[in-house]
A and B are shown apart, each in its own frame.
Chain A
Amino acid sequence: MRQRPTLQRRLAVLLLITVPLIWLVSTAVAAYEAHHEVDELYDTQLTLFARQLLSVNMGERGDDPLPVLPKTKKLIRGGDRGEMEDDDIGVAVWNEAGDLLLSDGKGRHFSFDAARRGFYTVSGQDDTDEWRLFYLPAPDGSRLVAVGQRQKLRHEVVLKVIQGQLLPWLLGLPVLLLLILWAVRQGLRPLQLLADNLAGRSPQERSPLPENVPGEVLPMVRALNALLARIAEAMEHERRFTADAAHELRTPLAALQVQAEVMALMPDEAGRQHALALLQQGIGRATRLVEQLLALSRLDPLQGLPAAQPVDWAVVCRDAMADVAAAAADKNMQLQLNWQDSPAQVLPLTGDATLLTLMLRNLLDNAVRYCPAAACIELQAAATGIVVRDNGPGIAPEWLARVHERFFRPPGQDMPGSGLGLSIVERIASLHGLRLQLANRPEGGLQVSLHVA
């Protein structure tokens, strides 16, 4: 398997490339600077030396043999300090005719040229090395002095400077690398701990990750914690849904089974009739549950409304009211339809009249079902929205947020129901771009409103 690029490896490679490059550049600059300084220094020395030679009165020796000094170390024992060999420097003094008056070192090999003035770089006798020469004539032109130095000397000084620089760099590079890798490893330790923490978790564990991590990692940890919280919420929602669904689907079956057994057990006709009535009631409840489930399963896959038509709310409201009228009459309830605006102005939208009727019927059916006898139920239609109001018991505040969840029913219902009615309403509403809102009325009862989202 190909190794993944790690921060450590990347940093190491980067350092191994850049550090030598930086060293190369800085060395080049240093070499150039050193060369310049050394040139200046030695040139000054050559100049001074030449001037001193000129200022010394050598007199006219005439036929005197040319004075040649032995090597310095022969003159003084141990007097030869410094690296400079006598062969590496030279001095020559000529008269105007070009006769050599004085020479030392390699000076006798310097060439006489009365026209020369100042610095020259020439090649030596064997052409392998270069010499730096300084020619200085006397003011009266009677003498010409030349002092010179092998260029090699200067190169050596520069080389020493560069070598002096190289060592700390060469020693420093591995130390620097190790230090940086150590720092990276230390800096990334919290990530490893984080990974260990995550790897060791059970799927049920939803506690947030510790936030005692470096600032660079904190945003990731926070994002992970937010994700964990969302997952926990989703799982809790799922768990509640499963529990509610199990309850709503199993309870009607349990009721049927119990009542069927009771019917078989009852010794008297009255008892059997009682059980039979409850059995039929249970079958009604199971039938309604199946119908609601089918309605929802037909609604769920819909992406939009394929046959949307302008909606005639007068027809929709009338049909929905008619569907629940019998049940309302049984409970001696007042059912009112209240037009705030003319039917043509009410919630102008295109949609499916059958679905909208089903939506309103579910809302009215809920009101009839859960309100006590003789309650007042009002369907109000306005340009801004549709509202169903009742003066029943309302919904306990702790359940208000959950009643639209599928299969959820507040515990302790006398009336049979599927826990799906509001889910159906909400689905149809959202297909039509409407939003469902439930609120307990301050004066008592429930108000369900549908507005454009």
Chain B
Amino acid sequence: MRILVVEDDPLIGDGLKMGLGQLGFVVDWFRQGREGLAALAAAPFDAVVLDLGLPGMDGMDILAAWRQAGQDVPVLVLTARDTLDERLQGLDAGADDYLVKPFALSEVAARLRALIRRRHGQSVSRLVHGAVSFDPVARTAWLDDKALELTARELALLELLLSSKGRVLSRELIEEKLYGWGQELESNAVEVYVHHLRKKLGAGFIRTQRGVGYALGEPQ
């Protein structure tokens, strides 16, 4: 799941990027308000972590601009402004959730997962398809109740496929969801990960739609 982080404090921003990265998210981090504003439309982000006190453009203004432009990506606001008035103001401006600094990284991750799940209309966190199931919190996949050994990218691809049931995902979209800006990527990376997953989960788990992309196969 690809997350946009807009946070001007270098230590917090770096921590979010590194920490959320370890927790299974693909993170792009921007420190300037205007950069963050423009970034949301440039990639298929699943959620945003937005600080309010930003240089160039205030977080509240960015949020309002996104909502005005019709962006419905879930936004988790992170801020030190904690008075009731300010929290209400943020929620009214279109924030989906609110966390006051200092916060626990695990809580940020949990809230992001909940926001994304809710957006996809899921109410349970575990994703199941046939004999394959995946726990986004534990970042563990099972085949017939047997835990699988998967790399972080393989897990990310599995999560993406499981949360996009019935949809065909283009190679470009998969690349964008799996890699943040500035991350190196081999031209055939997606094919490689699809191949690995098929080997571990069964050839029919991923279906190739020629000229379009990949989708989940029939549940087995």
Interface of A toward B, CB cutoff 8 Å: 242-243, 246-251, 253-259, 261-262, 265-267, 271, 274-275, 278, 281-282, 285, 410-414
Contact = CB atoms under 8 A, between A and B. Distances in A.
A414 B10 contact: yes
A242 B81 CA distance: 9
Chief secondary structure at chain A's binding surface = helix
Nearest to B18: A262
B22 A262 contact: yes
Interface stretch (B96-104, B119-127, B164-172, B192-200): B96-104
Contacts of A247: 53, 80-81
Interface residues of B, number: 32
B106 to A, nearest CB: 7
Contacts of A243: 80-81, 83, 86
B130 interface: no
Given A253-B101, A254-B101, A414-B10, A261 B15 contact: yes
A290 to B, nearest CB: 16
Contacts, number: 94
Given A250-B80, A282-B11, A410 B55 contact: yes
A261 B10 contact: no
B36 to A, nearest CB: 11
A413 B12 CA distance: 13
Given A243-B86, A247-B81, A257 B104 contact: yes
Contacts of B104: 257, 261
A258 B31 CA distance: 17
B8 A265 contact: no
B14 interface: yes
23 contacts: A243-B80, A247-B80, A249-B80, A250-B102, A251-B80, A253-B101, A254-B102, A257-B103, A258-B15, A262-B18, A262-B19, A265-B105, A267-B22, A275-B15, A275-B18, A278-B11, A281-B11, A411-B54, A411-B56, A412-B32, A412-B55, A413-B8, A414-B10
Query: 7 smallest A-B Cβ distances: which pairs?
Result: A412-B55, A258-B15, A255-B11, A254-B101, A254-B102, A250-B80, A261-B105
Given A243-B81, A246-B81, A281-B11, A262 B101 contact: no
